[in-house]
Structure 1
């Protein structure tokens, strides 16, 4: 259902001083020039501006930059920007990284504007009258930065509340625009997440006399998302639309390049895919772990024999019996329904493959009947009788009943109800469902073919690669209606919401698998996803806590945390499964399932000694003994416990050996969904990434330099790579050493 059906397009708000008369909201005033819009906003709210802007690609860059530059040149304006995930084009730190990235960025981010406040933040050039606060950082973007002091830790579902408490008086975001039969509507597109809840609250504050401006910025490159995301023109006060000018061209959207999927990530995705249940619900996040899960889910559906052979080869059901109790290994005949704060491109891949196809409906009775298999999405007389049996409609159909049946496609749209009779196809039919003759006539003349209004995906915001945006733009009208961008509070929580009750949401989200990634986990089952133990914030809580908590509220749902078993930090290899850690994102009492490249730990409802040992089993073997000794010393594991032999070879070498076998069958390839890099860039990127790890310590740097002295003469391919990265003709000693080190690394990668 569209928000247009929930609100009158002549929205009214009570004027100040609670006068009894109401005032219809006028359509948004349109501006072609950003400077004129800034003038109007300042005239509306004054020179103390607290600007709320959404996550990621939903930011109205042209307006925000114009407002920022105005405040930068006029110190009488106090500007505070409150937002999350301020996107930046990749910029290398070293000369080598810059040389690698500049041609890539020029190609992949052509036409994408920078956020001026981010450029100044990086240079330390933000003036005193402007500040920027965020509630979610782009991962790792502000470590060791003064921005750490301006971070607000909050659940995504509380972001709108917190923005109002911060005193925002301007909210803004990018929108798409269309006019049909003279009626203009806007789409919240990539970010329906906060606006759907904020705009009604803004109207309430305006009615109390508080100055406020709601600003949209049209970008025709945005996919026009329908359903909840489509809103009337008068939900904005002002709209910036550069397309009102001749020859205007909207800027390109920030697109996330496809990341490679490592062998370890593929294993994590494969194990997680065995926990999905046909007919269930799926939530995933962004990144290579998410892509790996999507890939294995596609493999399970499209090449099921191969998938089952891999399960057998890895002894998944034998080693991890939870896959038999909550998961499945067959194809997705009923299909999955997506319910995820972030709609990644993987959901579109699942839709194209016929996996994301379980439709949910905005009606508790219909959804419950579907869940109980009393009806299907195919309409028949049985649909009518099932609704009658549960008293959803009356024996003698009323006008209300007919409208209800038409809304969901059970009756054809042309059916009319007049004086207790049904009129359609030139027929006048009794509305008495107990009359067999009337029922036969209704079946023949009134029934539709399929239930209408089914949704396969509810999301709150999206970001992804360029081809994902194009796919969304080019979907057929029928496909578009199945994707619903909506409020983050609708998706991330189970509480009653104006878009759907808790009962409805629970009915829709059967067999949910809420899959989130983490940085670390502790042996007691706590999860660390957003910050370090010294307090430095890496990213943010976002919706992770909400989804984990939600999974515990529904009987057949599970929270699944995906986690790489170890990683390099400051040049040192560390286990990501820790005995303890000085920060927690998700507390241990909400522990459930954890998946690493070495398997699955089922923790929910288990005593501590089981939790500790299950996590040790899926840890890297280089750290298992130390973790076990710490657990025993704390009295959490029996002194005589030993790690089962089948979990004693959890090593990268074992993963790589298996992966090499699978690659020969064209399984678990690094870029199954396309690659944004050239072959040269892939070779260089792999070498640079390896060198970064090897040279993270002084000893590592020395060893790399010594190895470089023995490097062979570069071949033609290496010469080409050196030219690509600007090292074909080094001019100083530092560059000459760097060249030799890189030649050594590139020659080593060929072996």
Structure 2
């Protein structure tokens, strides 16, 4: 069992046991024991002769404002939502480029956009696929791991890796092998009382850890509040939802576009008439053939199975609504029965004949009976003796399962297959409500969520036959911020080399989509953006970096439609992407392609694709308001805060010299303060002090007037 010690005692233990450089591995995101990491970091700062390298990803810090109005909005919200969450001290030093010389932080995924200006973070970023992180960490000589875990009084011999089995579960056997070869390796755990106890693959024996902090962590879990889903993102979600096939497999990434997809899938399932009407208004018949071939519009009769490195709030919402309900099984023969249709939605055989039709041997011997009973398919009281089946009441049957009398007699003894799950995930992170809903799930329901190693989720290697059966008709849905007109996707890095976030598992899933029969990769993309009053296209002729090379091109979805790029020639790829680009940029893109010799000089885009403008989408929204909820998965923001968030986004788009006159005019024509007294009080602007606060008040009022829909 692990040695129980205080935070400082655990630091002492590490420093005394590991003689040379310390190579500390920390989980991605939520699972870091921040207080202990801070104590180790503080001690190392005082010991310049000791070397510490931290290998991790997604170091979570509270959102911070860069402008005064943002600060007024954020500070009360951050205090309310993040409470006493302990920040990582090294993260503040990383932002300020003041890490001590004996400490390095090597990350393979960054909190999106947060470290663009940190030289140390940019220089020590490690670009790798998520599925290869374990291999690389082992090669770097990790000799210390530290992780938050969950505990359950009913399971005194185990901990749950809870939010982060992703890397740890795959890394533990590699560390044990090196430990057996004589290396000193320590594993530290700290219980967090707020983490949900995730059973199944995420459970590990307590002996896996050498050190256990005696004081459990009780601070606020870091959360990612659901942000508003814009009209752009809602339309993207509607298009993408029509590409998901009933009975298939689903992976979703984090973010507003993923929330838009979730909302559309929920509408497709629970409000199908409204969904079809809105989809028809949005798509017409432009992509009917693609939808019919790839996805569908009907409710989910069979349901989906989730297989996603990140278990996001949207996947839990889909599970709660009954969209995620196709069970998969951890044993190949069981999965073969399920894939052949022998089992119902609860894992119970439809009949003995259905098992035979799915390949079960006709003669039931002792080994076959033991397998059926061990997996819950037959009652435990049945026995095989002298090639006869004996029931609990002494009745004997033929062991020939083709015998009609045997089939009839066994029917009441059929049971549900064990081990079926609706979702495999590698790690989770989400709103505070998401954690609460997980903690509140009944044990049986929680057991249908299998948190496991990233090696299982993100790749096909290892148990490939089983994974191929489970992941039928897979739709791997990720996002990009830029696409080249020749079909390459950009999602992690700017053109100048600075890393926004990381590759993570995006490439893993895109590659799986190419390797799995019936699978498709779907990249979600906003076709245009506005920054500082300047509009630009996110579909461009060229870009200095790509995340997904164009030879892996597949489905791309913008708010204007669907581009199926798989197997297409360059000219066909260009035409398909032009058809879902914003019409304000189509002429320039066509000219660039023609100048490169990739489009004929007489090329003309189809007329129905030349009206890709926001006004058309706004008209659809006005006719089908039920499909366009700004916060479809709930919100941590109050009513006034939701209004003010729209104002801040509106102002962000106007801060440009050429927009100054328009902004000034709007401020002069702003409504009286009494009309929005609660909003102004929330921003601390009810009684402005001085000309600067008066200006802020006018800008907020102008924004409220411009962004609050007329009733």
Structure 2-normalised TM-score?
0.94
| Residue of structure 1 aligned with 2:373, choices 402, 406, 409 | 406
Distance in 2 of aligned mates of 1:545 and 1:732: 53
| Residue aligned with 2:584, SS | helix
1:388–1:395 Cα contact (<8 Å) kept: no
Return the offset for 1:353: 1.3
Closer, same or farther in 2 for the Cα pair 1:377/1:439, shift >3 Å?
Answer: farther
The alignment status of 1:117 with 2:90, answered yes or no, reads: yes
The alignment status of 1:301 with 2:269, answered yes or no, reads: yes
Closer, same or farther in 2 for the Cα pair 1:414/1:746, shift >3 Å?
Answer: same
| Structure 2 equivalent of residue 370 of structure 1 | 338
**For residues 340-379 of structure 1, what are the structure 2 equivalents within 5 Å?**
340-376=308-344
| Structure 1 equivalent of residue 417 of structure 2 | 451
The alignment status of 1:102 with 2:75, answered yes or no, reads: yes
Between 380-389 and 574-583, report the one with greater CA deviation: 380-389
Deviations 1:168-190 (A, max 9, x none): 21112111112437x42111111
| Residue aligned with 2:189, SS | strand
**For residues 242-281 of structure 1, what are the structure 2 equivalents within 5 Å?**
242-243=215-216, 250-281=218-249
Return the offset for 1:578: 0.6
| Residue aligned with 1:178, SS | coil
| Structure 2 equivalent of residue 493 of structure 1 | 459
| Structure 2 equivalent of residue 197 of structure 1 | 170
Closer, same or farther in 2 for the Cα pair 1:408/1:84, shift >3 Å?
Answer: same
Distance in 2 of aligned mates of 1:744 and 1:441: 75
| Structure 2 equivalent of residue 8 of structure 1 | none
| Residue of structure 2 aligned with 1:685, choices 638, 645, 650 | 645
Distance in 2 of aligned mates of 1:704 and 1:30: 64
| Structure 2 equivalent of residue 230 of structure 1 | 203
Return the offset for 1:739: 3.6
Distance in 2 of aligned mates of 1:404 and 1:510: 25
Closer, same or farther in 2 for the Cα pair 1:441/1:681, shift >3 Å?
Answer: closer
| Structure 2 equivalent of residue 284 of structure 1 | 252
Between 337-346 and 409-418, report the one with greater CA deviation: 409-418
Deviations 1:376-398 (A, max 9, x none): 45677765555556765572422
The alignment status of 1:468 with 2:419, answered yes or no, reads: no
The alignment of Structure 1 onto Structure 2 pairs a total of residues equal to: 708
Distance in 1 of aligned mates of 2:683 and 2:305: 45
Distance in 1 of aligned mates of 2:619 and 2:286: 21
Deviations 1:540-593 (A, max 9, x none): 001110101100111211100000001134542110001111100000010000
| Structure 2 equivalent of residue 615 of structure 1 | 577
The alignment status of 1:185 with 2:158, answered yes or no, reads: yes
| Residue aligned with 2:138, SS | helix
Closer, same or farther in 2 for the Cα pair 1:585/1:644, shift >3 Å?
Answer: same
The alignment status of 1:165 with 2:139, answered yes or no, reads: yes
Return the offset for 1:709: 6.4
2:275–2:627 Cα contact (<8 Å) kept: no
**For residues 566-715 of structure 1, what are the structure 2 equivalents within 5 Å?**
566-569=528-531, 571-663=533-625, 666-695=626-655, 697-700=656-659, 702-703=660-661, 706-707=664-665, 710-712=668-670, 714-715=672-673
| Residue aligned with 2:234, SS | helix
Return the offset for 1:719: 4.4
Closer, same or farther in 2 for the Cα pair 1:639/1:503, shift >3 Å?
Answer: same
| Residue aligned with 2:151, SS | strand
1:396–1:431 Cα contact (<8 Å) kept: no
Return the offset for 1:43: 2.4
Distance in 2 of aligned mates of 1:219 and 1:431: 55
| Structure 1 equivalent of residue 406 of structure 2 | 439
1:268–1:595 Cα contact (<8 Å) kept: yes
Deviations 1:612-641 (A, max 9, x none): 011001001110110011111111112111
Distance in 1 of aligned mates of 2:305 and 2:476: 12
| Residue of structure 2 aligned with 1:86, choices 38, 55, 59 | 59
| Residue aligned with 2:316, SS | helix
1:380–1:443 Cα contact (<8 Å) kept: no
Closer, same or farther in 2 for the Cα pair 1:461/1:378, shift >3 Å?
Answer: closer
Distance in 2 of aligned mates of 1:434 and 1:690: 70
Between 388-397 and 97-106, report the one with greater CA deviation: 388-397
| Residue aligned with 1:561, SS | strand
Return the offset for 1:693: 1.9
Distance in 1 of aligned mates of 2:296 and 2:697: 51
Closer, same or farther in 2 for the Cα pair 1:553/1:216, shift >3 Å?
Answer: same
The alignment status of 1:175 with 2:149, answered yes or no, reads: yes
Distance in 1 of aligned mates of 2:112 and 2:347: 47
Return the offset for 1:417: 6.2
Closer, same or farther in 2 for the Cα pair 1:418/1:636, shift >3 Å?
Answer: same
Between 459-468 and 358-367, report the one with greater CA deviation: 358-367
**For residues 553-568 of structure 1, what are the structure 2 equivalents within 5 Å?**
553-568=515-530
| Residue of structure 1 aligned with 2:281, choices 313, 336, 346 | 313
Distance in 2 of aligned mates of 1:46 and 1:630: 60
Distance in 1 of aligned mates of 2:3 and 2:369: 39
Closer, same or farther in 2 for the Cα pair 1:313/1:721, shift >3 Å?
Answer: closer
| Residue aligned with 1:152, SS | coil
Between 647-656 and 387-396, report the one with greater CA deviation: 387-396
Distance in 2 of aligned mates of 1:285 and 1:141: 19
| Structure 2 equivalent of residue 23 of structure 1 | none
Closer, same or farther in 2 for the Cα pair 1:391/1:333, shift >3 Å?
Answer: closer
Between 640-649 and 737-746, report the one with greater CA deviation: 737-746
Deviations 1:649-701 (A, max 9, x none): 111122122212222xx331101221211222222222122112211x3333x
Structure 1-normalised TM-score?
0.89
Gaps of 5+ in 1: 1-26, 244-248
Closer, same or farther in 2 for the Cα pair 1:440/1:311, shift >3 Å?
Answer: closer
2:143–2:184 Cα contact (<8 Å) kept: yes
Deviations 1:357-389 (A, max 9, x none): 000112223323332324445677765555556
| Residue aligned with 1:632, SS | helix
Return the offset for 1:421: 6.7
Q: Pairwise CA RMSD of aligned residues? A: 2.4
1:429–1:438 Cα contact (<8 Å) kept: no
Closer, same or farther in 2 for the Cα pair 1:715/1:87, shift >3 Å?
Answer: same
